[in-house]
Every structure is written in structure tokens, then in C-alpha cells.
Structure 1
Amino acid sequence: MSGGQGKQGKRKLAGQVVVVTGAARGVGELLARKLAARGAKVALLGLEPELLAKVSDDIPGETGHWHVDVTDFEAMDRVAREVKERFGRIDVVVANAGVAAGGPFTDSDAVSWNRVIQVNLMGSATTARAFLPTLTESRGYLLQIASLAAITPAPMMSAYCASKSGVEAFAHCLRAEAGYKGVKVGVGYLSWTDTDMVRGADQDEVMRELRARLPWPANRTYPLEPAVDRIVAGIERRSAHVYAQWWLRGMQSVRGYLPGIIGTIGQREMRRAEPKLSTTGVTRGLVGAGGAADEQARGERTG
């Protein structure tokens, strides 16, 4: 079900304290619910305080929620202290928060493009910096959520692919740095999964058509619950690699060939899409409800 340390037995999650970033919706929300159902105490972090409070109230057992931007290192340090004070320890941290933007790089909105890097890559580093000292005390586990985008590049997704490739490499570096201190580090890979982010990306006609033309099995959207079940299993095993869809494991063996293949086929697809891009224009801003929440939060801080 998951890679890395799959031969080891599952650890009981009952009583474990788990921090989940990006927990207001999508993967983070369902993950928090499923972890709590297994007896974990869950700290939910995110940008949407009303949704976080609702999810926290709906979850049975001991939970807490913190409204925080994962790119704010001072705020994340404070939250890390508060979570430890609240629960007494921290055993697992899932760096899940992420946003996305689509479209050709040269036509992209620079603010949105940069924000994808800030949230997905720098936000993950800020999360690790804030929580690794406590994870070292508990000899805990850090799971970095990456993506199929870390394995294969894709046109129209330069910011997202760059950020997810970055967090994959970052986590691999941490595995060596933190491992000898007793902290295990994993990377979680998801393909297109039924979340607000993916539904938001599909609202762009060109992005939707490009994705439909991908080869099977990368051209379909996968249900959320089975994907999250596999992530939970990976957390239980403290796996080095967690694959939310079964076929992603096989992509690792061919990833070295993919940039050349995508570079060739991608040119053909971009040439095909160019007339439509010229007439419909390029979608601006971050995609999906989570992206809208991020833009609203930034607007409120600067307004």
C-alpha cells in the first residue's frame, strides 16, 4: 500500500498528536477526520478560520485549530509552541498546505506564480523548521505531501511542478539530516485527486483539454477517500514513500525518461492549444476555493 518501510508493522495512532496543514478542505480535511477516527489527537492548521473551526468541531476526540499562514515563520513558530503546550507533545506533522496556478509561464501572473512557490515550497520548509525540534523530542514523523508533478514535468504547470519537485528534494535532504536523530521523513505522491484545487484547474478549458489528452492512467481524476486512506496507512507505517494511487510507485522507475518525452510531446500539445489560448486568454490567479482563500487572506493583510 505504501513504499519505503512497508515491511514494518503499523504504529497505533491512538493517542498520537498529529499536525495537518491545509486542513480546512480537501486532502487535509479528510486526512484529519480519518486520523481522528483512529484515535489521534489532531491539530488543524490553515487559512480559513470558520472552516477550520467547523471541521474541528465535527471531529470527535481531542482537536484544536489554528489560523495561520504557513509562509509566516514567526507565526508558525508560535503555533508550534501552542500546539505542544495544548497537547504536551507532537508525534506526526503532515505538510499538506498547497496552492496552484496554471497557464504558460510567459503569460502568467508573476504574483500568483511566486505565491505557488512560497506556499508549496517555502511554506513546507517553514513548517519543518517550526516543528522539527518537537518531532526530534518525540522521535516522530514528518510527511511532506508532494505530487505526480514532482515526478514528471508538465506544460502549463511550471510553478506547481517546480514547487513539488522542490519539496520532494527538500524532504529527501531532511531524511538524512533528521534520520540519525530518530525522526523519520516521508514523501506523499498524489495524482489528480478530486479536490477543490483540481476542480478549479478543470474550469480552465485549455488545462482541462490538455489533461484529457494525457495517457492513461494520468488522464483521470481519482476519488479522494481511497487516496487519503493510503496516506493514513503510510503515516501508520511512517513510510519513506506514500503513493495515493497504486500506479504512482511504477512512475519512479521511468522518471528519468519523462522530461525528454514530455519536452517533445508537450511542444505538440502547446502548438495545438495556442489558438485557443489566443482567443480565450490565460486564467489569472490561484485556482480553486483554496486559492481564493489564500488571495483573500493576503488581501486582508495588505488592505
Structure 2
Amino acid sequence: MSELAGKTALITGAARGIGASLALSLAARGVNVALVGLEPAVLAETAEACAERATAGAQAQAWEADVTDRARMTEVVEQVVERFGALDIAVANAGIAIGGPFTQSDPETFDRVIEVNLLGSITTARAVLPALAVSRGYLLQIASLAAMTPTPLMAAYCTSKSGVEAFAHSLRSEVAPDGVDVGVAYLSWTDTDMVRSADQDRVLAEMRSRLPWPANRTGRLEPAVERLTTGIRRRSAHVYGQPWVRTMQWWPRGFLPAVIALRGAHEVKRLAPRLAATADERMKPVGPGGLAATRKTPE
């Protein structure tokens, strides 16, 4: 991984979970890391951990920013370039989620998931692409298996991840003449704060457990992050957090969604009384990162 040493990476949603672990992985390979997120205290702790793990003189610094704030994201990128001299890698990772039936969801919270995950990724790309064009760099968009296989009770998250997948694929050809490569990362359920928080909802956890194997499994975080790091090094167009997810890319993409739709309809009907009885528990995004994004809704 020595070819990454000396480069600079900006990672959104870097306070915890995949973003934080990826920042630590890159710092250990000599990459300067700019951590962007909404939890300043946690970001500072992650930046300190990155600095302790860094090799080849790499450094880390945190920036508090809402990825849906265009002016602030532009300002952050300008400051990152001023601080480190260039921007070589950008990872659009920030994301939140809610669960439960669409008709029982809070409209503002549902829309906020779309805003953070999809429009936040678009805002991030708009901010970083000028600097990446100068460095002939690499943009990695974190998508999800949910982009390929939408599932019931996750309409906001699946919609946003399908959107970022399409956006990144469209963008790839547009920026290729500038020497910029664009990749899309697909992960299944991965052991992060967000997934663990979602599993605290017993009804949603039961629903997930009944998805077809291996779509109901939770993968370990560290191996997934290592695959993301390798994808960044290779400037890959497609990166898979779990090896089996790769097979979903080449299957007829209507197959598993059709299976999930048939089984999902039965499961939603079976769970409907419990979902209705616990609907008030799902009015906010899951996990501390999701709650931070809700508190920081722009005026």
C-alpha cells in the first residue's frame, strides 16, 4: 500500500462506523486524512486515533460540516487543500437510515434520509471534483447492497442508495477526461453503530433475520474496510465490502428483489400489528450518527 503514502483523503461521515475505520486504515498507510462529520467531539477523538496510527508522516484533522450544506462543504475542501496541499481521494460515506413502513414514517425524517444520503453525496461531489481534477484523483461513493436489492421497511435508505449508485455511474464518464476515477462501494449489513442500533428494534431485527441468506447476515467491519482500502488503492470502479456481494452485481438484478418482494409482502403482513404498535419508536434515524444529522438539519 506504499503508493498511497503522502496522498490526502477527505472522508464524510467520519466520526464513527465505516468512515472512522476507513480513516484509520488510510492513516496507517501514510495518507493524510480530513475527517468530516457532525459530531465534533467524536471526530476529534477519531482524528487523534488516526494521528497515533499514522505512518510516513501522515496527519489527520477534523472538520465539522453538514454534507447537505453546499457553501460549508466548498469551504471545507478549500481548507483541506490549503492544509495538505492537495486532495487526492474523496469518500462520500455520510449516511443515515430509518426503518418501518413508509406510511407510518415521519415525512420530515424520511426526507432527511434522502437529503443526507443522496443530496449530501451530490453536494460532496460538487465540492471535491475541482480539487480532484487538479490531482487526477479518485472519488469513492459508498452505496449499499440496498441499491441492488431494495427491501421492505427501508424505503428511504434503499431509495437514497439506488440514487447514489446511479449518480456515481453517470458521473464516471463525465469526469474521466479530467483524469478522475469514480468508484461505487457496495456493502451488506456491516457491524457498525447504525446497524447495531437498528437491530435494537425487535420487529425490524426479526424481519431482517428472515431475509434470504446471506442477505440477513451481519459482516465484520474490519475486513469490509480493508476491501474499501484496496479499492481506493486500485481506483476501482466497483468495490465490494463482502465478497459474496460481488455475485449480486452479475446476477439478473431482478431476481433477488423479486424473491424479497414475495417473501417481504408475507412478512410485512405478518408483522403489521407489531409494526403499528411500535411505530412511534421509529420517528428518528437510528444510531447516534443519525440523531446528529437530525439535530443539524439546516434552517
Q: Same fold (TM over 0.5)?
A: yes
Distance across 1 between alignment mates of 2:277 and 2:50: 47
Percent identical pairs in the alignment equals: 58
Alpha-carbon distance in 1 for matches of 2:276, 2:229: 43
Match of 1:209? 206
Q: 2:136 maps to which residue?
A: 139
Q: Which amino acid in 1 is paired with 2:170?
A: C
Moved more, 186-195 or 253-262: 253-262
Which amino acid letter does the alignment assign opposite residue 7 of structure 2? Q
2:153 is aligned, of 144, 152, 156, to 156
Q: In structure 2, what is the equivalent of residue 22 of structure 1?
A: 13
Counterpart in the other structure of 1:270: 268
Q: Once the two structures are superposed, what CA deviation does each residue of 1:197-253 show, in whole Å capped at 9, x if it has no partner?
A: 101111111110011011211111111111101100000100000000000000112
1:58: Cα distance to partner?
2.1
Larger relative contact order (Cα-Cα within 8 Å, sequence gap ≥ 6): 1
2:44 counterpart residue number: 53
Per-residue deviation at 1:11? 7.2
- CA positional deviation for 1:281: 2.9
Residue 225 of structure 2: aligned partner: 228
Following superposition, the deviation at residue 259 of structure 1 comes to 3.2
Aligned-partner Cα distance in 2 for 1:229–1:280: 37
1:119 and 2:88 are equivalent in the alignment: no
The answer to which of 203-212 and 155-164 deviates more is 203-212
- Cα offset, 1:256, TM superposition: 2.5
Q: Which amino acid aligns with 1:145?
A: I
Q: Does structure 2 retain, via aligned residues, the 8 Å contact 1:153–1:258? A: no
**CA distance, structure 1, for counterparts of residue 258 and residue 59 of structure 2:** 49
Please report the TM-score for the alignment, with normalisation by the length of structure 2: 0.94
CA distance in 2: counterparts of 1:278 and 1:90, whole angstroms? 48
Contact residue 211 and residue 260 of structure 2 kept, 8 A: no
The question of whether the paired residues in 1 share the 8 Å contact of 2:141 and 2:183 is answered with yes
Deviation, structure 1 residue 194 = 0.5
The runs of at least 4 aligned residues of structure 1 exceeding 3 Å deviation read none
The match for 2:166 is: 169
Unaligned runs of 5+ in 2: 52-57
Structure 2 Cα separation of the partners of residues 263 and 58 of structure 1: 43
CA RMSD in angstroms comes to 1.3
Task: Quote the Cα distance in structure 1 between the aligned partners of 2:26 and 2:275.
Answer: 43
Whether the 8 Å CA contact 1:11–1:236 is kept in 2: the answer is: no
Q: Does 1:64 align with 2:55?
A: no
Q: Tell me how far 1:260 sits from its aligned partner.
A: 2.6
CA positional deviation for 1:54: 1.3
Match of 1:292 in 2: 291
Segments of 5+ residues of structure 1 without an aligned counterpart are: 1-9
Query: Which of 169, 180, 194 is 2:191 aligned to?
Result: 194
How many Å separate the matches in 2 of 1:251 and 1:196?
25
Secondary structure at 1:252 match in 2: helix
Q: Secondary structure at the match of 1:12?
A: helix
SS at match of 2:296: helix
TM norm structure 1: 0.93
Q: What's 1:12 paired with? A: 3
- C-alpha distance after superposition, 1:16-39 (max 9, x if no partner): 101110000000001001100000
State whether residues 2 and 30 of structure 2, in contact with CA within 8 Å, keep that contact through their aligned partners in structure 1.
no
User: C-alpha displacement at 1:279, in angstroms?
Assistant: 2.8
CA contact (8 A) 2:47 2:62 kept: yes
Query: What is the number of residues matched between the two proteins?
Result: 291
Amino acid at match of 1:162: T
